[in-house]
């Protein structure tokens, strides 16, 4: 009876603690909410644990990160938030679910144009929004984003949904260069040149080029590496080459993957260690080798594969501005019924 009573007491205490929002802080762990697929970040997390002894726990979310953090409130176990798009980073900040990180190490490693001026978010990698072009049917070696509306591309372009985060970021960049009216006309021109209704992901567009359904598509650079390492998809990748488009008055549009510290992080010290590690030379090298991405930190060597694709000059538009235009970009997509 004594054992049973003690068990009941401990059980009741646990319920009371939970109701009060109490949480245990583990000195040897860091909890990650991630929009990045686990296999893309696991090599980095394994190396972090090897170096620090801090275990990493990852919850992969396809959507709903803000809603989850808001529902959890001060009881949230989240320490570090990883995202795959500048607008999602800014949405986290605007929702008030992040906190300022003051780190000289991070500020030294990550260029000012790829981090929030207040320290609410930091970019980790760059991905260019490029053109995949058929090796057989496209002779052009260079293009501008503006030229994609020209008549010679009528019925030759494939792309995923206009509401996709990567496409919205590109449309936002066009808006920065040309204003809302010209951007609307540009996107209508892209729609008029489509070979088929927007569908699928970036790799599905390359498959369509391989199948002869279209000649060029919009996509992120790192998908080339992912396709080449996939037995089924390698044939798709072999059918195309990469062209780095530019704006007439600028460079190649880039988006970022990035990180922020959760507002109610229960393991702030561990979270900071992870964030600083991800900006380190070694971690950035892992990003370059494993994920086929462009490191955000300067002077990190590219992988041999990524280097083979060629070099580009990133557009110099401020990432904050691109994120701020997202709602107007979505408005244009809906107004012209881009996906219809």
Question: pLDDT tens digits for 21-62?
Answer: 333 344 699 999 999 888 789 999 999 999 999 999 999 998
Mean pLDDT of 207-234: 96
Buried-state track 178-188, b at ≥16 Cβ within 10 A, e below 16? beeeebbebbb
Mean pLDDT of the chain: 90
Percentage above 90 pLDDT, the chain: 80
* Bridge partner list, 55: 29
Query: In the prediction, which pLDDT does 36 show?
Result: 86
Mean pLDDT of 197-219: 98
Cα angle 187, 204, 60 (rounded to 5 degrees) comes to 100
Task: Please determine, for residue 285, whether its predicted confidence score (pLDDT) is greater than 50.
Answer: yes
Task: Please determine, for residue 4, whether its predicted confidence score (pLDDT) is greater than 70.
Answer: no
Task: Please determine, for residue 20, whether its predicted confidence score (pLDDT) is greater than 70.
Answer: no
Report d(CA 287, CA 285) in Å as an integer: 5
Query: In the prediction, which pLDDT does 317 show?
Result: 79
| Cα dist from 263 to 86, 99, 230, 273, whole Å | 18, 5, 38, 16
Q: Give the count of beta carbons closer than 10 Å to the beta carbon of residue 27.
A: 9
- Encode pLDDT of 98-143 as tens digits: 999 999 999 999 999 899 999 999 999 998 999 999 999 999 999 9
Q: Model confidence at 287, in pLDDT bands (50, 70, 90)?
A: confident
Mean pLDDT of 288-302: 89
Nearest to 159 by CA among 119, 216, 114, 96: 216
Query: In the prediction, which pLDDT does 27 show?
Result: 60
Query: In the prediction, which pLDDT does 289 show?
Result: 86
Q: Which of 18-27, 190-199, 262-271 has the lowest mean pLDDT?
A: 18-27
Report d(CA 260, CA 103) in Å as an integer: 12
Task: Please determine, for residue 5, whether its predicted confidence score (pLDDT) is greater than 80.
Answer: no
- Encode pLDDT of 148-158 as tens digits: 999 999 999 99
């Amino acid at each position: 009876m004594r054992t049973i009573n003690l068990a009941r007491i401990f059980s009741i205490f646990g319920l009371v603690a939970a109701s009060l929002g109490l949480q245990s802080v583990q000195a040897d762990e860091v909890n990650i909410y991630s929009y990045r697929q686990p296999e893309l970040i696991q090599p980095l997390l394994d190396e972090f644990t090897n170096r620090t002894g801090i275990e990493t726990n990852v919850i992969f979310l396809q959507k709903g990160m803000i809603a989850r953090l808001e529902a959890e409130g001060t009881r949230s176990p989240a320490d570090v938030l990883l995202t795959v798009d500048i607008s999602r980073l800014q949405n986290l900040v605007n929702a008030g679910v992040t906190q300022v990180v003051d780190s000289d190490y991070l500020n030294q490693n990550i260029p000012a144009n790829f981090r929030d001026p207040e320290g609410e978010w930091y970019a980790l990698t760059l991905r260019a929004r490029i053109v995949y072009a058929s090796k057989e049917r496209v002779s052009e070696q260079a293009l501008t984003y503006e030229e994609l509306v020209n008549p010679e591309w009528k019925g030759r372009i494939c792309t995923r949904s206009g509401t996709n985060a990567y496409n919205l970021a590109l449309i936002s960049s066009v808006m920065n260069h040309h204003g809302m009216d010209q951007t609307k006309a540009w996107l209508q021109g892209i729609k008029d040149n489509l070979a088929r209704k927007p569908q699928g992901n970036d790799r599905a567009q390359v498959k369509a080029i391989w199948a002869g359904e279209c000649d060029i598509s919009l996509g992120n650079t790192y998908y080339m590496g992912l396709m080449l390492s996939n037995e089924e998809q390698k044939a798709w990748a072999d059918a195309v080459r990469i062209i780095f488009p530019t704006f007439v008055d600028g460079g190649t549009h880039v988006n970022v993957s990035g990180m922020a510290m959760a507002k109610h992080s229960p393991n702030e010290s561990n979270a900071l260690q992870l964030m600083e590690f991800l900006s380190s030379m070694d971690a950035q090298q892992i990003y370059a080798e494993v994920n086929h991405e462009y490191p955000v930190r300067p002077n990190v060597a590219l992988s041999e594969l990524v280097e083979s694709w060629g070099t580009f000059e990133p557009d110099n538009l401020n990432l904050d501005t691109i994120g701020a235009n997202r709602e107007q970009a979505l408005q244009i997509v809906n107004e012209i019924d881009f996906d219809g």
